[in-house]
Amino acid sequence: MFSVDVILRTYFESLRFRRVPCFSHQRGFDWFPVWYNLKDFRKRGIRIRLLNSFQIDYSRLSDTVIVDYRIASDLYNFHKPQDMSRHDLLIEFLEKLRTCTSRLILFETKDSTNIHNELLPYVDLYLKKQLLMDMKLYETKLHGHRLYTHFYSENYDVKEDNFYGYLDKGPGDFVEGLDVYLRHKHKISLAWNIALCHYSMSHNILEGLFFLLKRRQPVLYGPEESRNLRLSANFKAGYESDLIGFQRKQILSGLKERFWDDKRVSYGVVSKKDYIENLISSASVLSPFGWGEICYRDFEAFAAGAALIKPSMDHINTWPNLYLKEVSYLPIPWKIEDAIERICDLVGDDKVLKVIAQRGQELYANLWNKKSMEAFCSRFIRIVRG
């Protein structure tokens, strides 16, 4: 039996329950398909333990250990020595693990495509949910460390700021980081994205029940059902980084100007209840970029039977890839003025919206059949076995 340990964030923050072996799809939804297929993995000769930082026995770790990048939060909140940053804590943690296992894998679960080059020397494999299609771009300095933020910095009056994201550390010297990348880029590999999480439009109690019962097929709403809204654009636009939030803020502002008196368009932040009701009542859902390109809203749109409208994803390499232009989603330009015009045209085309909604939902529903689950299991096994 081949054993793998997966180290995730702690679910319970109470000291009394921190060691309870509870896995949450809300806090660890990147790992939902692993948890979901635990029995199938065991049948294939793979035993997987899902651990948190309080459950680690360094003397009994498996030969292969996978670390969720977001463990840095727990290290900082619960295990922090004096005056150490998240960045330094994570490196120290990886160094310690590497002395206790034969193969150390870091799953960098951030939403963006950018890579923390300084972490590459400490692991044997560096997994991402999404990568740039053109890997040569990682050898280029991008404003905001993302291709789309670089686009807005270069083409609009918005400047790069000093907010870098999850690790409280800047990117350091670009030339030095590039040298590290070039020496270790062979470690970078594509894992899987959050399409494989269970997205439910149900009440929280029912959602928890579906999770415990490992219900496979998500609840789907037929695109042919009556839709009293033309567009759901319910998303936040405020970010700690002006550059990250630029696309959302500008598109939302343009929509408010164009649809200010149209009751068939809902935009801005609403309550969770209204958000879900709007999803299943809308002919289309707009899902712009945020910290990264891929958003849970994309897959909620598929489940809700709405046509997904989204900035072009041509630059992204991800798996599974549900972003098929003019097939499963309707792309809009990155240029703000052109994007708003395109959205206005699409919202009025009921025939196109229904066709795209149907195709998108079909692709999404197929993720949950036996063949797709077997494909995921095979991919995971290839990753852990090397």
Question: What pLDDT, in 10s, does the model give residues 12-60?
Answer: 655 555 555 555 544 457 998 998 899 999 999 999 999 988 889 999 9
pLDDT score of 94: 96
CA pair distance 15, 17, nearest whole angstrom: 6
* pLDDT the model gives residue 77: 81
Same domain for 67 and 7: yes
Q: What is the pLDDT of residue 168?
A: 46
Q: List Cα–Cα distances, 181 to 97, 136, 168, 176, in angstroms.
A: 22, 11, 20, 9
Looking at this protein, which amino acid is placed at residue 259? Answer: F
**DSSP strand E in 143-283: where?**
188-190, 231-233, 265-267
Give per-residue pLDDT as tens, 162-195.
665 555 454 455 556 889 999 999 999 999 999 9
Yes or no: say if 287 and 263 are a contact pair by the CB < 8 Å rule.
no
Confidence of residue 207 (pLDDT cuts 50, 70, 90): low
Domain of residue 212, CATH code: 3.40.50.2000
Token pair belonging to 384: 């852990």
> How far apart are the C-alpha atoms of 7 and 11, rounded to whole Å?
12
| Start-to-end Cα distance in the chain | 16
Least confident of 72-86, 285-299, 319-333, 361-375: 72-86
Same domain flag for 228 and 189: no
pLDDT of residue 25: 47
Q: Which domain holds residue 246?
A: 199-366
pLDDT-based confidence at residue 76 (cuts at 50, 70, 90): confident
Are 117 and 227 in a shared domain? no
Please indicate, yes or no, whether residues 120 and 227 belong to a single structural domain of this protein: no
Query: Same domain for 82 and 131?
Result: yes
Query: 90 near 53, Cβ under 8 Å?
Result: no
Q: Extract the tokens encoding 210.
A: 């579906």
- Mean pLDDT computed over every residue of the chain: 88
Q: Side by side, which strands form the sheet with 329-332?
A: 265-267, 231-233, 284-286, 307-311, 329-332
175 lies in the same domain as 44: yes
Return the minimum-mean-pLDDT range out of 115-129, 208-222, 280-294, 334-348. 208-222
In the DSSP assignment, the letter for residue 81 is P
Q: Is the pLDDT of residue 216 over 80?
A: no
Closest CA to 19 of 28, 27, 10: 10
Residue 146: per-residue pLDDT? 93
Task: Please give the pLDDT value at position 171.
Answer: 47
Three-state SS string across 29-92, please?
A: HHHHHHHHCHHHHHHCCEEEEEEECCCCCHHHCCCEEEEECCHHHHHHHHCCCCCCCHHHHHHH
Same domain, 249 and 344: yes
Q: How far is CA 254 from CA 8, 40, 98, 292, in A?
A: 40, 48, 50, 21
Same domain for 113 and 25: yes
Above 80 in pLDDT, residue 8?
A: yes
Pairwise CA distance, residues 214 & 200, whole Å: 12
DSSP, res 18: T
Q: How many domains does the chain have?
A: 2
Q: What is the mean pLDDT of residues 220-240?
A: 91
Same domain, 336 and 273: yes
Q: Residue 163: CA atoms inside 13 Å, Cβ hemisphere, count?
A: 11
Q: Let me know whether 146 and 176 are in one domain.
A: yes
Residues 258 and 160 placed together within one structural domain of the fold: no
**Cβ-contact 53, 70 below 8 angstroms:** no
Same domain membership, residue 98 and residue 43: yes
User: What mean pLDDT do residues 144-159 have?
Assistant: 93
